[in-house]
Amino acid sequence: MFGATVATAQSIVTDLSQNDVSITANFDGSQIFIFGAVKSAIMPDVNAAPLDVIIEVAGPSAPVEVRKKVHKFGIWVNGPAVEIAQAPVFYSLAGTRPVREILPDEERAKYNIGLDYVVQASDDIAPEYKDALIRIRQERGTFAKLESPVKLSEQTLFTTKVNLPSNLVEGDYTASIYLVRDQAVVASSVSEITVRKAGMERWIYNLAHEKPLIYGLLSLLVALVAGYGASTIFRLMKR
């Protein structure tokens, strides 16, 4: 009973270096520092197992179509599409130790921690499609292969950093922090990160989605002006 009291008496206080990320024309990625402290309402048991911290950052999830290349008539073409039910646009996971050593599979499944759980596919879809999606997004940098480990000082203060790639997609992201003892989550905290286009990129994005006719006409006008300008320059160069 005393051990259970120690576990439930602990909580997490967290903060982020920034909660808003603006995507501009020269955006080449960003870095967010996540830090916090472990609070205990009573004196901790000196004989209790040490604490571990897991920090997960995930972007908005959506269905994804995955196609397998097939060889037909001597060329490679796209085969039939397979839909993955849910996959985040960005995912990063870090811990004080390798996450599989901190939490058993049943606990990770309970909280959807790890790529094998956040990327969800129906049972009738071959695992190779799910693995291919993970591999492709890891190569693009939107699924982090390995982030800097979480540093935990004196079983109280923790910190880590998360690198956001330049091809970040706008949306609402979450930073989830889990406090773990004896291979079980004893406390958790969630913070929001808002990623939005800014400046001219935001204006063009809103125009394309809210007034597609005007956007199309402006695009056509820009193409005509660019084409006429290029032809004029080449004509002058020939003289």
Q: Measure the CA–CA gap between 93 and 114, rounded to whole angstroms.
A: 7
Structural domain of residue 182, as residue ranges? 2-197
CB-based burial, 188-199: b 16+ in 10 Å, e otherwise? bbebebebebee
- Binned at pLDDT 50, 70 and 90, residue 28 comes out as confident
CATH number at residue 72: 2.60.40.3880
Give tens-digit pLDDT for 142-201.
998 666 689 999 889 999 999 999 888 889 999 999 999 999 999 999 999 999 887 666
Number of folded domains that form the chain: 2
Q: Are 181 and 237 members of one domain?
A: no
On the question of pLDDT at 8 being above 60, the answer is no
Q: Measure the CA–CA gap between 173 and 61, rounded to whole angstroms.
A: 9
Beta-carbon count within 10 A of 10 CB: 17
Q: Are 206 and 137 members of one domain?
A: no
| Bigger pLDDT: 53 vs 76 | 53
Give every strand in the sheet of 52-58, ordered side by side: 20-23, 184-197, 171-181, 52-58, 91-95
Q: Are 129 and 176 members of one domain?
A: yes
Q: Are 133 and 221 members of one domain?
A: no
Q: Are 13 and 29 members of one domain?
A: yes
Residues in the chain, how many?
239
